[in-house]
């Protein structure tokens, strides 16, 4: 009868364990038991399966940007319509109004976002970003290639796959609305090119351009669509709130900005002057109460926060409604 020492027994056990490990790949991996008897294993996605998520030639992704209650293009368009007195009309074309608001808020906003470059755009799929656009005047050593020198390997795919469809869609919708909308859309495209150029040359985009696209142009389009009489007062009010929006952006960035305070004061004094000339004391009192907290905050030396934006928005809408009731 053979006998084994403790050392020999330990050696035999270790060799047996090594044999089991080497044989492990040949054995089926036990599936842990589930309550329903189901076990999901990750499966690699076949490249052809990516086509399942593409159903259209032009793709869009929509999201709500920051707070809804702040002065921007959608509300500026509403204010432009209110300043014409549409609130009292019974035969208002709601479909035309909705299409115009879609143009000034979503489509003009998408065009203007192009001025911010790749940092503010959603990234393209790797397959789309890798497809390069061949242009003869961008060959190495050409003047245009030297201008666009640097890390611009995905510039032209973005320009042709994002910029061109965005501008084209905005122009098509504007052409459906009318000549005024088409003309203002071309102005938005021009301001976008100007903003993109300023960002590359001055390393910043002028805030005035943002205010024009956010307040001035949307207000003007809806004013043109619904005004039947003299638009001078409506255009003046649009200009005053464009100045005010310019000051809003500056004061939110720097609470001690003297230019921002001057812009806010000029816009608010102009609005009050219009209401005084139109003999609308009740509207004037309501708007002054909405604008007063901004100046109390400035006098107290505290920073102007975004909690003031709903007050500015409400003051803008009330002034437009007052103008619509006074003159139309």
Q: Where in the chain are the domains?
A: 70-134+152-327
Give, as one character, the DSSP assignment of residue 160.
I
The answer to whether 315 touches 287, Cβ cutoff 8 Å, is yes
| CB crowding 260-296: b at 16 or more within 10 Å, else e | bbebbeebbebbbebbeebebeebbebbeebbeebee
Of 165 and 20, more confident: 165
- The set of residues, in sequence order, having a beta carbon less than 8 Å from that of 288 and lying 6+ positions away, is 272
- C-beta neighbour count of 32 within 10 angstroms: 6
Phi-psi region of 49 (alpha: psi -120 to 50; beta: other; left: phi over 0): alpha
For 186-206, the pLDDT digits (tens) are 999 999 999 999 998 888 899
Q: What's the pLDDT at 88?
A: 67
- For the cut 70, the answer to whether the pLDDT of residue 146 exceeds it is no
Q: What's the pLDDT at 58?
A: 76
Highest mean pLDDT among 3-7, 48-52, 102-106, 303-307: 102-106
For 265-281, the pLDDT digits (tens) are 999 999 999 999 988 88
Highest mean pLDDT among 27-41, 81-95, 102-116: 102-116
- For the cut 50, the answer to whether the pLDDT of residue 36 exceeds it is no
Q: What's the pLDDT at 226?
A: 87
Q: What's the pLDDT at 26?
A: 47
Global confidence as pTM: 0.77
Task: Indicate the pLDDT class of residue 164, thresholds 50, 70 and 90.
Answer: confident
Which of 43-47, 223-227, 268-272, 284-288 has the least mean pLDDT? 43-47
| Cα-to-chain-centroid distance, residue 319 | 26
The answer to whether 111 touches 192, Cβ cutoff 8 Å, is yes
Give, as one character, the DSSP assignment of residue 137.
G
Of 101 and 230, more confident: 101
Of 119 and 268, more confident: 268
Mean pLDDT of 77-87: 90
Mean pLDDT of 112-138: 66
Of 181 and 157, more confident: 181
Q: What's the pLDDT at 66?
A: 75
Give, as one character, the DSSP assignment of residue 202.
T
Mean pLDDT of 86-112: 88
Q: What's the pLDDT at 127?
A: 53
Mean pLDDT taken over the chain: 80
Of 113 and 59, more confident: 113
Phi-psi region of 32 (alpha: psi -120 to 50; beta: other; left: phi over 0): beta
- For the cut 50, the answer to whether the pLDDT of residue 4 exceeds it is no
Which of 42-46, 47-51, 66-70 has the least mean pLDDT? 42-46
């Amino acid at each position: 009868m053979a006998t084994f020492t403790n050392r020999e027994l330990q050696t035999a056990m270790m060799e047996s364990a090594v044999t089991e490990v080497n044989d492990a790949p040949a054995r089926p991996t036990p599936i842990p038991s589930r309550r329903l008897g189901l076990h999901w294993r990750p499966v690699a996605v076949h490249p052809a399966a990516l086509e399942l998520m593409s159903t259209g030639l032009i793709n869009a992704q929509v999201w709500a940007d920051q707070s809804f209650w702040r002065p921007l293009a959608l509300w500026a368009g509403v204010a432009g319509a209110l300043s014409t007195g549409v609130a009292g009309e019974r035969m208002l074309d709601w479909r035309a109004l909705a299409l115009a608001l879609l143009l000034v808020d979503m489509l003009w906003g998408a065009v203007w976002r192009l001025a911010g470059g790749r940092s503010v755009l959603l990234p393209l799929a790797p397959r789309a970003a890798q497809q390069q656009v061949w242009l003869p005047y961008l060959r190495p050593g050409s003047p245009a290639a030297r201008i666009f020198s640097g890390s611009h390997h995905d510039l032209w795919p973005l320009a042709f796959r994002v910029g061109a469809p965005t501008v084209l869609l905005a122009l098509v919708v504007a052409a459906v609305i009318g000549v005024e909308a088409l003309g203002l859309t071309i102005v938005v495209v021009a301001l976008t090119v100007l903003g993109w150029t300023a960002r590359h040359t001055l390393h910043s985009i002028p805030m005035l351009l943002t205010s024009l696209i956010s307040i001035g142009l949307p207000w003007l389009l809806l004013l043109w669509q619904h005004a039947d009489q003299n638009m001078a007062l409506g255009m003046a009010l649009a200009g005053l709130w464009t100045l005010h929006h310019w000051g809003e952006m500056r004061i939110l960035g720097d609470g001690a900005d003297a230019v921002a305070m001057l812009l806010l004061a000029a816009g608010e004094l102009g609005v009050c002057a219009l209401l005084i000339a139109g003999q609308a004391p009740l509207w004037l009192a309501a708007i002054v109460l909405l604008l007063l907290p901004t100046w109390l905050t400035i006098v107290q030396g505290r920073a102007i926060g975004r909690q003031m934006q709903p007050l500015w928005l409400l003051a803008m809408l009330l002034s437009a409604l007052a103008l619509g009731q006074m003159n139309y």
